[in-house]
Each structure stands twice: as C-alpha cells, then as structure tokens.
C-alpha cells in the first residue's frame, strides 16, 4: 500500500522538477520574510532567482541549531504569529530550546507525510495505534497522532511512561501497532516477561520506532521478543518532526519524502558531498514548510544513501538508519568511534543484553574506554572462568570492529539505567575533562 501513489512513485525527472520549483518558492519566502536569510543572501550577493538546477543549492548558506537559538523564540518564522496554529519546541538539554511553528497548511502537510510513513510501515485504517511517545512540546506524540487520524486508524494517545498500564491497555484495547522509541519497546518486553505475559497472546503486529539511534540487532531482538514487524522512521522538530523519512516493509532503509525535503549527505568537516553510499552528515532543506522553512539545516545525524531502487515501488531515495551523531562520535586514541558500532557487536554476542554504557576516562594522557555491558543472569553468576571467556570474546570482537582496544566489564542484568526519549539516551559517560 502507498498512501500517495502519484507523489511517492513519480519519476525521478518529475520529482526533480517539483523539487526545483518548490526550492525556488521557499527561497522567495525566506528571502522576503525572514531577516536572518534576507541578510545572509544579500551579504553573499546571492541571486537565487537565477537558480536553474538543484546543484545551485550548494551556493546557499547552512542553518545550524545555534542560528535557531540566536533567533529564539520567533526570529526565524516566515509568517506572522496570527497565521501560526501550533508551536512546538525541542528539548533544551544542551542550552536554549529551539522553537518551531506550523500554519494550518503545515499541519495538513505534516499529517499527510506521517500517514505516508504509517502506510509504508504496514499500518492502515483498520489498525489500533498506541502512541507511547510523549505528548507535549516534543513533536513525536502529536506528529504521529495527527498522521494516524488522517489515515483513519483508531488512535490511543496514551503518551509516554507507566509501562504496566501501557501493557494493560495493549491487552484490553487490542492494540495492533505500537509507536515509541526502540529502547522503550524492549523495556515493555522486559516488563511483560516479569508479569508472565506472553506477547504472542497480544494483537500487536507492527512497531514504528524512532527518536533515537538503534541497530539492526536491536530490530531483530524487538521483532523476536514482541512478535512484530518493527520499522524505523525519522524526523526532527527543527525540520518538521516525524514524517521526514520512514521504512517500508522491505525494512531496508528509510524512504525520504523528497518532494517535501531536499537532502544532502556531506562530509561533516569539509561540508562537501560524500561519494554516493558513503556515510556523512544529513543536511535538509524544507520545500513546503510555510511557518518555519529551513535552508540546509545541519542535522548532525550521520547516515548514507542507498543508491538502488526499492521493490516496494516508491521512487524516493532511501537513507540508512541514523548511525550516530557527529557530536556523539568519540575520538579514542585518534580513532573515530560511534556507540552504535559497539551496540551492533554486542547484539551478535549471545548472552549479552542490548543495554550497555561506555565510560571514557583519561589516564596519563591516554583515553581509556570501558564498555559496561549487561549479561544474562546465568553468565553473571557463573564461575569466573566463563566470565573471563566472555570478556575476552567481547574485547576481541570490539577491537576488530573499532580498530582500538577497549576494556570490558560485565554487570548484572538490568543494573544499568534505561533511557527513554530523544536526547536522553546518553550511553556515554565521558569523564575526560576536555
């Protein structure tokens, strides 16, 4: 099933024409109504009206989170507040929050794009969708909610938290699709196990997960333990919220809604395009946003483009699940290390749990990383020799993957803190004072 076949399956040539026209009108919009862009364009003597190819995009300035903070709260809005019908804000964990606005049309577009994502992930009007994302300033809850209603599904706006109640409702209301973070889905599986509830007795068929990076191993684990088909979806409040990209049931990369978002994948330092298929920073230009258009927004999220076409029939490009962020990349002894690389190895090792922390310390000017990893009870309470073998195995596999050696410490099942929600899944405890 495709929600908007005409748009989602259009030829690349037609799509590029649509993108160019929409880019042109977005540039007109920000060049006229947003002083931040108007000033930048005039400083750069940018003649955007003469743009005649999508490659001209590369002449445009970038927008960063810092720019949004400096224009807090409404400085980057392209319409007067009277035309804004919704305001969301991203969490201000590392400084001032960023504020985004939506016109009535923006909400319509947003709902539609989320309906596309839901359809691609197997969900339809007959489904009962439990939305366990927080409802509030965070875009996850309301974003998915409006899209699910647009689809005609039955929506349970349960919001985040209270896992036992989530499970009770899931049983009683016969939920068929779950929306939350992937780590929260695993937490639900843990609690079900504690309560002696067998997930195969539930009506659950699909899980749509996002708002934090996860690995293929974690998907397998969720699929196996909850007996569902889990898909990944992507969005960020600075650009719109959920609905930017999502996986189809091929589960092999996220289709980007390219008629609404123009994407680039750039080297995070040189800011030049990477070779097709190589990992780089995702940079997004909105093409249809009215209240809060953004030009070349540096997401800090790392991904790569899948060049091949998808058997599902959608012609949009797919990106790989987000493999990390440019700002949680750790440089250990000069080597770039991403927490997700460690996660994918741990998933391959039997007996380890998907929960881990990384402790980074600097001793005598040398960085030391300790991977604290939860292991199942039988191993944790096993004889020293078996524990030793486990530690050695993990160390060996990690060294081969990362190209740098790390220490490994086994900890008891469920002794590490669980994370839930965007920006909170900090698995890295950096004790270096850099």
CB-nearer residue toward Zn ion: 309 or 415: 309
Size of the site for Zn ion (CB under 5 A): 5
CB-nearer residue toward Zn ion: 153 or 312: 312
CB-nearer residue toward Zn ion: 251 or 271: 251
CB-nearer residue toward Zn ion: 250 or 412: 250
DSSP 63: B
The interface region with Zn ion, picked from 89-97, 168-176, 312-320, 362-370 by CB under 5 A, is: 312-320
| Phi and psi at residue 23, to the nearest 5° | -65, -45
Binding flag, residue 248, Zn ion (CB under 5 A): yes
Pairing of β 318-319 and β 254-256: antiparallel
CB of 312 to Zn ion, least distance (A): 3
The interface region with Zn ion, picked from 52-60, 225-233, 250-258, 261-269 by CB under 5 A, is: 250-258
CB of 321 to Zn ion, least distance (A): 14
The interface region with Zn ion, picked from 64-72, 73-81, 265-273, 309-317 by CB under 5 A, is: 309-317
CB of 109 to Zn ion, least distance (A): 21
The interface region with Zn ion, picked from 178-186, 240-248, 276-284, 350-358 by CB under 5 A, is: 240-248
369 Cβ neighbours under 8 A, 6+ residues apart: 330, 332, 337, 358, 359, 360, 404, 406, 407
Binding flag, residue 312, Zn ion (CB under 5 A): yes
| Phi and psi at residue 328, to the nearest 5° | -105, 15
d(CA 282, CA 292): 19
394 Cβ neighbours under 8 A, 6+ residues apart: 345, 346, 349, 352, 371, 373, 408
Helix (H) or strand (E) holding 221: helix 216-226
Binding flag, residue 310, Zn ion (CB under 5 A): yes
CB-nearer residue toward Zn ion: 180 or 256: 256
CB-nearer residue toward Zn ion: 2 or 407: 2
d(CA 328, CA 363): 21
Q: Order of strands across the sheet with 261-266?
A: 261-266, 280-286, 297-303, 324-325
CB-nearer residue toward Zn ion: 57 or 310: 310
CB of 14 to Zn ion, least distance (A): 18
Q: Pick out residues in 268-297 that bind Zn ion (CB under 5 A).
A: none
d(CA 392, CA 387): 9
CB of 318 to Zn ion, least distance (A): 7
The interface region with Zn ion, picked from 181-189, 207-215, 228-236, 305-313 by CB under 5 A, is: 305-313
Binding flag, residue 204, Zn ion (CB under 5 A): no
d(CA 246, CA 251): 9
The interface region with Zn ion, picked from 125-133, 170-178, 241-249, 259-267 by CB under 5 A, is: 241-249
For the chain, the maximum distance between any two Cα atoms, rounded to a whole number of angstroms, is 73
The interface region with Zn ion, picked from 55-63, 175-183, 303-311, 325-333 by CB under 5 A, is: 303-311
Q: Order of strands across the sheet with 305-306?
A: 154-156, 128-131, 177-180, 206-209, 229-236, 241-247, 254-256, 318-319, 305-306
CB-nearer residue toward Zn ion: 9 or 376: 9
d(CA 242, CA 70): 24
d(CA 184, CA 179): 10
CB of 310 to Zn ion, least distance (A): 3
How many other C-beta atoms are found inside a 10 Å radius of the C-beta of residue 125? 10
CB-nearer residue toward Zn ion: 90 or 231: 231
Distances from the Cα of 279 to the Cαs of 12, 15, 271, 274, in angstroms? 23, 24, 12, 7
CB of 255 to Zn ion, least distance (A): 6
CB of 62 to Zn ion, least distance (A): 30
The residue count of the chain comes to: 434
CB of 309 to Zn ion, least distance (A): 9
CB-nearer residue toward Zn ion: 188 or 310: 310
d(CA 314, CA 256): 10
CB-nearer residue toward Zn ion: 247 or 290: 247
The interface region with Zn ion, picked from 15-23, 147-155, 313-321, 361-369 by CB under 5 A, is: 313-321
CB of 11 to Zn ion, least distance (A): 16
233 Cβ neighbours under 8 A, 6+ residues apart: 117, 121, 208, 209, 210, 242, 243, 245, 246, 247, 254
- Interface residue list for Zn ion (CB under 5 A): 248, 250, 310, 312, 314
């Amino acid at each position: 099933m495709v929600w908007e076949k005409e748009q989602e399956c259009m030829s690349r040539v037609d799509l590029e024409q649509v993108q160019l026209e929409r880019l042109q009108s977005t540039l007109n919009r920000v060049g006229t109504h947003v002083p931040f862009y108007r000033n930048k364009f005039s400083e750069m003597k940018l003649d955007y009206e003469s743009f005649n190819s999508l490659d001209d995009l590369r002449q445009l300035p970038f927008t960063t989170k810092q720019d949004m903070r400096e224009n807090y709260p409404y400085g980057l809005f392209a319409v007067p507040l009277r035309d804004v019908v919704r305001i969301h804000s991203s969490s201000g964990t590392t400084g001032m929050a960023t504020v985004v606005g939506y016109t009535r049309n923006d909400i319509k577009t947003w709902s539609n794009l989320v309906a596309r994502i839901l359809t691609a992930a197997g969900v339809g009007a007959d489904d009962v969708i439990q939305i366990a994302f927080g409802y509030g300033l965070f875009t996850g809850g309301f974003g998915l909610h409006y899209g699910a209603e647009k689809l005609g599904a039955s929506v349970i706006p349960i919001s985040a938290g209270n896992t036992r109640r989530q499970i009770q409702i899931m049983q009683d209301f016969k939920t068929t699709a779950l929306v939350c973070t992937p780590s929260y889905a695993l937490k639900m599986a843990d609690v079900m196990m504690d309560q002696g509830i067998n997930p195969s007795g539930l009506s659950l068929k699909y899980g749509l997960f996002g708002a934090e990076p996860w690995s293929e191993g974690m998907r397998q684990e969720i699929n196996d333990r909850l007996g569902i088909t889990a898909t990944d979806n992507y969005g960020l409040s600075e650009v719109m919220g959920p609905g930017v990209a999502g996986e189809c049931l091929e589960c092999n990369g996220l289709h980007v809604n390219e008629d609404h978002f123009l994407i680039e994948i750039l080297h995070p330092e040189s800011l030049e395009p990477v070779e097709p298929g190589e990992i780089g920073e995702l940079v997004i230009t909105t093409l249809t946003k009215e209240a809060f258009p953004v030009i070349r927004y540096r997401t800090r999220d790392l991904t790569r483009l899948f060049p091949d076409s998808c058997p599902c029939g959608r012609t949009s490009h797919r990106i790989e699940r987000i493999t990390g962020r440019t700002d949680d990349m750790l440089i250990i002894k000069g080597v770039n290390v991403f927490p997700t690389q460690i996660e994918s190895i741990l998933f391959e090792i039997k007996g380890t749990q998907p929960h881990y922390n990384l402790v980074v310390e600097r001793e005598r000017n040398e960085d030391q990383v300790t991977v604290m990893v939860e292991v199942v009870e039988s191993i944790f309470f096993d004889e020293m020799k078996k524990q030793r073998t486990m530690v050695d195995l993990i160390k060996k596999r990690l060294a081969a993957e990362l190209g740098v050696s790390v220490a490994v410490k086994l900890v008891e099942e469920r002794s590490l803190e669980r994370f839930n929600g965007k920006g909170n899944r900090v698995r890295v405890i950096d004790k270096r004072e850099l």
